[in-house]
Every structure is written in structure tokens, then in C-alpha cells.
Structure 1
Amino acid sequence: MVAARVAAIEDRRGEGTMASPVRAAVQDIKRLRTISSVLTRHGFSAVARRAGLGRFVGDGGLSRGEDAFEEVEGVEELIGADRSEAAVRFRRVLEDLGPTFVKLGQVLSTRPDLVPKEFLEELRKLQDAVSPMPMEAIRRQVESSLGATLEELFESFEEKPLAAASIGQVHRARLPDGTAVVVKVQRVGVGEQIRSDLDLLYYLARFLEATVEEIELYSPTAIVQEFERAILAELDFRQEARNVQEFGRNFAEVPQVSVPHVYEELTTSEVMTMEFVQAGKLASVEGGSELADTVLHNLLDAMVKMVLYDGFFHGDPHPGNIMVREDGSLIFIDFGLVGRLSSRQQDDLIGLILNVLTGDVDAIARALLEMGDPVGRVNLREFRADVERVRNKYISATVGDFDVSQFIQEVMDAAQYHRIRLNPNYAVLVKTAATIEGIMRRLKPDLDVMAIGLPYARDLALKKYSARKLAQSALSAAVGVSSFVTKVPQQLDQVLMDLEGGNLTVTVRNASLDQLGEVLNTLGTRLFLGVIASGLAVVAAMLLRPFDTEIFGVSVLLILGILAALSATTLFWWSLGWHVAASRKGKKLRLGPLMRLLRRE
């Protein structure tokens, strides 16, 4: 009965209502004004000017005309000389702007290939902790989502939440049969606010791409798209429920790892009901104890299985999301952020791990190139040299000093320097690995990373180079070769027929020649406009001659003509100088990116 009412409510919500465009525009302008004000308050007024916020919301002198974009060219002028201090200010900006931007910061904290380490450290401190919603709002949300009164749904429902975050909060309750559960309730109106903020983020991202040339590597629009997918999935509690169930199926045969049971009939996009698990917190486990050793091995076994065997892993395994029973078994909770790896990505990752352990620098560099997305040509020799430098730095470190997270961070820095973008799935994994390493070092302060990792490396090598795997690879290669051998004669025959019939066309491209047409078009347009302007000036002089007057014996038309000529000459030399300077910098005015600001795909 409850499930039927829930389905009816979901169907009605799917119809929705169209918000007033004028009202939405006013709200967006107010939000832009707020963003501009917060940036300025925390010392990022230069960033606000560069992003064009001042000119669009008229905020406190931020708009300074066209020259505003040329005032700040370097990073220091934008954020200040001290990056660590700027990172703290940036974190406070995100916290002041609310849940959408806090979540954006948390997503960025998973991208060491894009974000400097000073900012990564601060972004990882972002917390969702907010004031809890009043019980009246909780009651309305639960009853409207589940289609029944709180008393009909639950025997008891605690008013004080177990935890409160930016998206929702969690309450203890009991079902009518006495079963203890926890109920996760989404904040009222948070979805509407997040979707509105997403529109603004798309606008800001496209504006930056259209006006800041050096932003190409970071691809702000792609980052916002990735963030949109993550946060909209987190807004739908049904997706989180599916993640919990998939994780449970993967570990059904592993007694040391489990997840809470999800009550589907009491779960909607805004409310999720799960089993209440009686267990302690991971943070309460004493480091160096026998229990800590058991927890460490269970945790490492679970992570290896998640990442390298299942290809589906918890994206935020901090101590608050892992609970521990007395026997050391683990319970994972909060599956709002998860990561996935394809079979190919798993093989690439296994190969990279083995290459790092064996010290094959060439293989490491090639593996990173295959796992990433290079923006333009990469100098493999220089990239290899940087990878070797990082490897040599850490391979000589003592066991206790070997910092896996720092090693990964420096490799990511090298990839970023050489304009290699990391796949988002790997980016989430990097953050997960850093979190797990921190937990492991707390559980075992004298942790020997290499010694504890070697048994897993042997298993991974057997997995990657097993007879079955090699047979599958050989079969796949044989099929590819067979297809190649079969198709090549046909394709060569087609090429010869086209050549004989005169239908074969060879196109040669040259960057300078491709630009020649644009240059000639520009020059022709300017010459045409110059001729038209000269003709209009002569005709105007002839027509206005009968109406000429004199001041102190000097023709007014002559004075105006001289002033116009001086203005035109000044404008000409300024335009020519700007054109030459822009050509030297390789900058061109492109209308395409500007036009994309007007639409969201």
C-alpha cells in the first residue's frame, strides 16, 4: 500500500511545473551578485573581474571595462603570492556559497591532475556539517515522499538527527514490527537550489573558456558536467540505494565486509530507509592493537577486491563511512559517491602498479599516457625524465618515509605539467587511495607499504598474466589480425580503382596556408570599409559645403574634418598595434566560444 502511494507521488512529481523565466533570471542575477560579493570578501576580487562577474551584476566597482581582463595575467595577481593562504580563502568561499559549491569542492578534491596540492589539502577539509532541519520540515518531507503519516510508517521516529549534512540528515527510527532503522531525509528545496547553481556554473565555465586562453587544459565545462552527474546522482537516494545493493552483492561471499540492508518500499528519491547497524566507529580503533591489525587487512582486502576485481568501489571511504564490529569485520555506509573501472582500465591500473614496483620508467610513462587524455602533443622524453625523477626520489626513501599519496600526487603534477588530463574514474580512485593510506598508517604507525603490498602484487601479476587471460588476449589479437588480413586486399583494390578512375583526392594541410584565407579576408574587408569611408567623407563634404560656417575665419567643416582624421589615425594605429601584439602572443578573437555562452547543451 505504501509502495503504491510512493509510486503515485513520484509520477505526479515527474510532471513538474515550469518556473517563471523572469523569476529565474532575477534569482540568477541575485546569486551572481552573491558569488561576486563572497569572492571579493575573501580577497578574490581579481578572479571576480576575470570571470566577468562585475560587469554582469554591477557589483561594487568590479567591472572596469575591457581592460579588466588584461590587468591580471599571472597566478600571483589573481590569487596572491601565498598559495597555501589562498587555498584557505578558497575553501571559505565554497563554504560561504553553500551546498552546491561545497560539493563542487569535494569533487575537485578528487582531481589531483587539475588542482594544485595546496588546494587539494584544503578542499579535503570541506565538511557538510550544517544546522539540522526542524522536525516539522522532516515530517513534511517524509510524509509527502512516502505518501503516509509518520505514525503509519514508523513505530517511533527520533527528532534529534544522528548527523546533518548539506544534502540531507539521518534519523533513527523503528518500523511497526520493531526493527531498528535509520532514515535519510533530503533537505527541502536543496534540489532546486543546486540546479539553479549548476546553470550559473555552466555560464561561468563557458565564460572562462571563451576569455581565458590558459584554461584549456582544465576544461571547466567538462568539470561542471562531471560535477553535475555526481551531484544529481547524489540527490537521487534511489541511486544510492542501488549502489548499496550492488556492493552487497559483490561482497555476499565475504563475511568480513557488509553493508546495511535497504528497505526499498520505504525509499524514494528524497527518503532512504536502511537497517540500523550496531557497530563501533573506525576512528575508535586503537592504532597498533590486534583489532587494528585485523581491520587493516580486512580493509586492504576489501579495497583490492573493489578496485581490481569488481571495478566498483566506494568513492569516499573516510573513517566516518566505515564501521567496525568487535571481530574486526567492516560495514561500509554512505554510497553517494562511487567509482567504476572498466576491465580495460583495471588491466591498465594493474600494469601501472607492477611497473612502479619493478621500476620500469618507460612502461610507467607509457601507461600514464594510455590512462590519461593528452591535450596536444606530449614530449615523451621529457615526460619520462620527470617520471624517473619522481620514482628515484621515492624509491630511495626508507620504508617508513615512503608516502604513497605524495608519490601519486607528484606523478599527477608531472602529468598536469605535460598537459595530460586524468580520466575522472582514476581521479576518484586517487582520492580513495590517499584516504585509505591515511587510515592504514593510523592503524599501524610503522606500516611497511612495500612488504604489505607484495603479496597483492603477486596475485595481480597472476591475474594479469594468467593462462586464461593470455589465451583471451591471443584470441582477440588473432581475430584482429584475421580481420586486418581479410580487409586490406579489398581496401587496396578500392584505392587502385579510385586512382585509375581519377577519383582519388589527396589533401595537404598547412597551418600557414590555412590562415592565409582568413588574413586575405580580413585585409579585403578593411580595404573595402576604408574605400567606403573615404567615399562617404568626400560626398559628405560636397553636400555640407553650402551650409558651412566659419569661426575666427576658419571653416567649421575643416575643423571637424581634421578632428575626425586625427581620431581615425589614432584608432588605426591602436588597432594595428593590438593586432601585431595579439599575433605575437598567438591570440585571436573567436566568436564561437562567446556564442556558446547563450546556450547550455
Structure 2
Amino acid sequence: MIKKRIRYIQRYQDILTALFHYGFGHLVRDLGLLDFVRTPKKKKDPNYYRSTAERLRLLLEELGPTFIKLGQVASTRSDIFPDYLISELSRLQDHVPPFSFQEVKAIIEEDLHAPLSDIFNSFEEEPIAAASIGQVHKALLPSGEQVVVKVRRPNIEKIVLTDLAILEDLLGLAEERLLWVKQFNLLDVFHEFSEALKLEMNYREEAQNTERILRQSEEDPYVEVPDIFNEFSSKRILTIGFVEGEKITSITEEAGYNLSKVAENFAKGLFQQIFVFGFFHGDPHPGNVFVKKDGTIALIDFGMVGRLSMEMRQNLALLVIGLKSRHTDKVLKALKNMKIVHDEVNQVLLKDDLDALRLRYYDVPISEISLGEAVQDLFSVANKHNCKIPSDLTILGKSLLSVERIVSTLDPELRIMDLIEPFGKTLIKERYDPRRLSSLLKDEVLDSIELVRDLPRELRALSKSVQHGKIKVEISVPEVDRLINKIDKVSNKVSFAIVLMSFSVIMVGIIVGASLTSEPTILLQLPAIEIGFVIAILMFLWIIFSIIRSGRF
């Protein structure tokens, strides 16, 4: 850590000084990093009078791309962070000026190994959008197709990797010194975010995501996805087909759009990605959703995607049914099947909280329940009990909320639960389909046959290990000290009883033997009785003393 701080000392100072400036100096002090802070201004700063959430948002915006992205990811984790913070972080904006056309030109020519004029018939110098990771330009291919070209910001990878290294260091230190950081598992959340951001900077990943959604959407009547032009793309460049349309929240009835139909098509298209294919758009906010003149929905920007296995989708359907029927046991079973609830969770307390959540929705008509909010509430309860929510499920929760917000803007009367129910029923039918069950049974039988076939070999290996003394047995018993203490007490009492009984038997034997002998014998003439009696008494007293001294009697 020390080497990392020295290597990135300038950036450390920027971050820690910004924390001071926005009123988070106590965190720097608690982490023991005051020496890295430049002397802050002594006059009162206007930020002093802002709320904590607002100061945090402004801090993240000032610190740049990595921190803005981190805040945007945090705004999707309502299972961890409170509502007032989520609301403020959702306002995060990229206030980043575009970089120069000369830099754009240099990157394209370096990656595509040709002059810009040879690659495109035309290329607009002014970007149509600029963000923290890259910016977008319109262009025309030699084939005559209109495209948009995303170009990654110069040196952004170095900047982001530096910030990620510093953040990992600071969070690791915070987990050691601040209990609340450890309770929130912020380092685990950060690692998920870090991997996602690294993938987002690699435009090849986005190209692959887009192509997969494109293949899924070939027969989708609701949604279409623009083409990818791989020969004009690289890790730092992404060329995709130009989408001619209006932002989904900007369309109006006066312009000829059927808002209710558009809302329905958009929701069905996303639900098909989620519940049918298990590979879906992870950030369907209005800026990424366009409507063409014929009412077709066009999706762009697949830098963030979610993935759900068939088993996860089916359990999600069970979860929805449990929520709809307000059946706590079904909800708990679905959470167990999804590996959210582990063995260490107190399931009695968890069920109590799930019952409380059920009662919150008890008198609300199912058509008026927000599925996104219900899922988020569910994840919040799970997080309270230290359950681990997979990152793809948090992306799912965010996507569902985005879908519901857009749908409610277009048609407040449209009920999401009515649209999602057919997908859930299909998944449940598939779960109990005899063909699927027979396939699972076949797999189980084959696995059992393999196990039986391997058993003799495993037993031979075990036997050899026993012969060579290589078997190690490790027993883990809760409260082992108490158990050993009890065993000691029992064994000492048994020892005491045995010695006492032996002493009694010896004495009885001596007395009986003496009484049966009419004539004195050599044995009786010797002082053996007295010697034996003294020895027995001493042994008895020693054992009693040892037991009492051990305190385990």
C-alpha cells in the first residue's frame, strides 16, 4: 500500500483534499491519511451548508470519470444504500468537454492503420455526444451507410486504472479501521464495479454484447438493434449503424406516435431479453432508447448487460409468483434456490422481515405494485441479513425500474405486472415440463453411474492413503472448550469412582482373607497389609487432590 501511495501521491492528494473540501475530512482523519492532504482553505466553503448526499454527488463529479461511474453504479444498489442517497446519485452527470478532433483522428488512424479519409467517405468533426469514457461522431462509410463512431478518450484507461488502484487501497484500509464499511461489504461491491468498468472501456466487449442482442432480436417484433461494423472497430473504436429516431420520452401523440403501443412494445421487448434469453440491456435509460417513425423500438449502448441462467430465470418467476400471491414461503424458497440465502442466515428472522414486507403490499392491488421497487425492497431485506445479492440481479433490478419509469411516462394506465405475467407462466411451465424433468433425471442417473464406476478406484486410493498414514481428520465442534471441560469432569468422576471402588475391594478382600485363615500365614506375618493400605490411601488422596486442583470436578 505504501508503494502505491508514493507512486500515485499526486492523485492521492487530489482525492483526499477534495474529501476535505466537501466536508468529509473526518474520513481522512479516521483512515490516518492527514499527511497526504494539502492545507485546506480556512474560510467557510458554500458546500458546508449542503446535504451530505449532495456534497457526495458534487465530490464524485469533481473527481472525474471513475468516480462518476462508481456513483452511477452505487445509485442502482438500493439494497445497500438509503433512498435519499440513491436519489441524489441518480442525478450524476458527466460534465466533460469533448476532446479535440486531432486526437480523434490520431486514434482512428493508429488503430485502423489507414488515413481517416480512406476509412470513411465523410466524418463530422463535431461530436454529437461526449461522456467521461468517450465521445460519438457521425460518419459515412464507403458503402454509403450512415454510422456513428464511438472513440475512447485519450489516456482514459491509465486514469481509470490509477483511480481504481487508489480506491481499492482506500477501501481496504477503511475495512480495517471502520466497522460500518465492513458491514456494507463495500470492497466486494467495488470489485464488481471495477471489473464492469474495465469491460466498459473495451469497446470490443460492447461490440460482442450488441451482436448477441442483435441475434436475439432477429425475430423480435418489438425491438431492433443497430448493426456492428467490426472492420471499422477496435478496442478504442466502435462503429455502429446510425439510429434514425426520437428519444422514447420525447415522442408525442401529436407527432403520430401511439404512446400506449410504444410503451407496451418496449416493455415486452426488454422482458423477452430478460426472461426468454437471459441476456439483457443493463442500462435502458431514455438516452439509450429510441423510437422510429413506424413505432419500432431501437436500443443502443450495450456497455452494461445482465446475464441470467435458465435456473435463475425460473427461480425469478417463482419469486414473482410469490410476490403476486403474497406467499412468504414461496418467496423464501425462491431466494434459497437463487443462492441468495446461505446456511449462516437466521431464516426465522429473515422470514419475519419478509412477512413484514408482505404486509406492506397486502392491501395494494397487484396491478399497482411496482415490480422494480418490490424486487429492490426484497433485496434490501436480504442485504439486512447479510445475504449476498449477485451483481446480475442488481442490474436486473435497475433495468426493471428503468422500464417502469419509461412506461409510466408514456402510459400511466399500463400495468407492468400484467405484461410480465405471461413470461413468468412460460418459465414455470418450462420448469415442470416432463421433457425437462426427464432430461434432468437422465443427467442425475448418468452422474450416479459415473459415481458408482469411480467408487472402487476412489476406495483403493483411500486405502493406500490409510496404509501410508496420510489421512488427516479435522473435526470442527462449536464451543469445543466447553465440551472438553465437560468430558474432563466426567472422566475425573469416573476415575474417582474406580479408585474408591478398588480401594474398597482391596480392603474387603484383606479382611475376608484374614478372617478365613485360622493359622497365621507368612503373608499375614509381613506388614504387607499396612504397606498396601498406606499406598492405597496415598494414591486416593493424590487423585482427589489432582481432580480438585484442576477445577473440573
With structure 2 as the length reference, what TM-score do the two structures score? 0.77
Q: 1:161 to 1:508 in 2, by over 3 A?
A: closer
Q: Confirm or deny that 1:213 pairs with 2:179.
A: yes
Question: 1:205 deviation in Å?
Answer: 1.9
Check the 8 A contact 1:287/1:444 in 2, yes or no.
no
Of 427, 441, 462 in structure 1, the residue corresponding to residue 394 of structure 2 is 427
Name which one, 1 or 2, has greater alpha-carbon Rg.
2
The alpha-carbon deviation at position 278 of structure 1 amounts to 1.4
Deviation string, structure 1 residues 293-315 (Cα, Å, up to 9, x no partner):
22222222222221122121111
Q: Verify the 8 A CA contact 2:172 2:187 in the aligned structure 1.
A: yes
Query: Residues of 2 paired with 1:259 and 1:318: CA distance?
Result: 15
Paired AA for residue 42 in structure 1: Y
Q: Which amino acid aligns with 1:428?
A: I
Is the deviation greater in 44-53 or in 245-254?
44-53
Counterpart pick for 2:8 among 1, 24, 28: 28
Please identify, of 328-337 and 128-137, the stretch whose mean Cα deviation from structure 2 is larger: 128-137
Indicate if the aligned counterparts of 2:5 and 2:12 stay in contact, CA closer than 8 A.
no
| SS in structure 2 at match of 1:133 | coil
Higher mean C-alpha deviation, range 291-300 or range 233-242: 291-300
TM alignment of 1:545-584, pairs within 5 A: none
- Alignment partner of 1:295 is 2:262: yes
Kindly indicate whether the alpha-carbon contact (under 8 Å) linking 2:371 and 2:417 is maintained by their aligned counterparts in 1: no
SS of structure 2 residue aligned to 1:395: coil
The yes-or-no answer on 1:248 pairing with 2:228 is no
- Does 2:445 correspond to 1:507? no
- Deviation, 1:120, is 1.9
Is residue 168 of structure 1 aligned with residue 134 of structure 2?
yes
Name the amino acid aligned to 1:388: D
Find the aligned partners of 2:139 and 2:460 in 1 and give their Cα distance: 74
1:106 is aligned to 2:72: yes
Taking a change above 3 Å as real, the CA distance of residues 411 and 134 of structure 1, as seen in their structure-2 partners, is: same
CA contact (8 A) 1:291 1:327 kept: no
Alignment-derived partner of residue 442 in structure 1: 409
Picking from 55, 60, 68, the partner of 1:94 is 60
CA distance in 1, matches of 2:466, 2:153: 68
CA contact (8 A) 1:279 1:324 kept: yes
Identity %: 31
Which residue is equivalent to 1:338? 305
The alpha carbon displacement at 1:376 in A equals 7.5
CA distance in 1, matches of 2:251, 2:76: 26
User: Per the alignment, do residues 401 and 247 of structure 1 end up closer, same or farther by CA in structure 2, a change over 3 Å counting?
Assistant: closer
Give the letter aligned to residue 354 of structure 2: V
Give the match for residue 139 of structure 1. Answer: 105
Mapping 1:474-513, distance limit 5 Å: 474-479=441-446, 505=473, 507-510=475-478, 513=481
Which residue does 1:222 correspond to in 2?
Answer: 188
Question: After superposition, what is the alpha-carbon deviation per residue over 1:47-100, rounded to whole angstroms, capped at 9, x for unaligned?
Answer: 222333324x144489xxxxxxxxxxxxxxxxx9x9x93222211111111001
Letter of the 1:199 partner, please give it.
Answer: A
For structure 1, list consecutive stretches of 5 or more residues without a partner in the other structure.
1-20, 63-79, 517-601
Deviation at 1:230, TM superposition (A): 0.9
Q: Distance in 1 between matches of 2:474 and 2:161?
A: 49
Cα distance, 1:372 vs structure 2: 4.6
Letter in 2 for 1:268: S
Q: Which residue, 202, 207, 215 being the options, matches 1:236? A: 202
Contact 1:279–1:325 (CA under 8 A) maintained in structure 2: yes
How far 1:113 sits from its partner (Å)?
Answer: 2.5
Give the superposition deviation at 1:282. Answer: 0.7
Q: Does 1:392 align with 2:340?
A: no
**Aligned equivalent of 1:65:** none
Partner residue, 2:551: none
Determine the C-alpha separation between the residues in 2 that align with 1:287 and 1:54.
58
- Partners of 1:413 and 1:511 in 2: CA distance: 33
Inter-partner Cα distance in structure 2 for 1:212 and 1:358: 41
Q: Residues of 2 paired with 1:486 and 1:354: CA distance? A: 42
What secondary structure sits across from 1:176 in the alignment? coil
Distance 1:501 1:205 in 2: 47
Tell me the CA shift for residue 496 of structure 1: 11
RMSD: 3.4
Q: Is the 8 A contact 1:371 1:422 kept in 2?
A: no
Q: Say whether the 8 Å CA contact 1:206–1:220 is kept in structure 2.
A: no
* Secondary structure of residue in 1 paired with 2:290: strand
Change (3 A) 1:47 1:259: same
Aligned length: 475
One-letter amino acid matched to 2:14: T
Quote the Cα distance in structure 1 between the aligned partners of 2:14 and 2:271.
44
Please name the residue that 1:354 is paired with: 321
Q: Structure 2 regions of 5+ residues with no counterpart?
A: 42-47, 485-553
Contact 1:285 1:291 in 2 (8 A): no
Partner of 1:194: 160
Task: Check if 1:45 corresponds to 2:11.
Answer: no
Residue 183 and residue 482 in structure 1: after superposition, are their counterparts in 2 closer, same or farther (change >3 A)? same
> Which secondary structure state, in structure 2, belongs to the residue aligned with residue 450 of structure 1?
helix
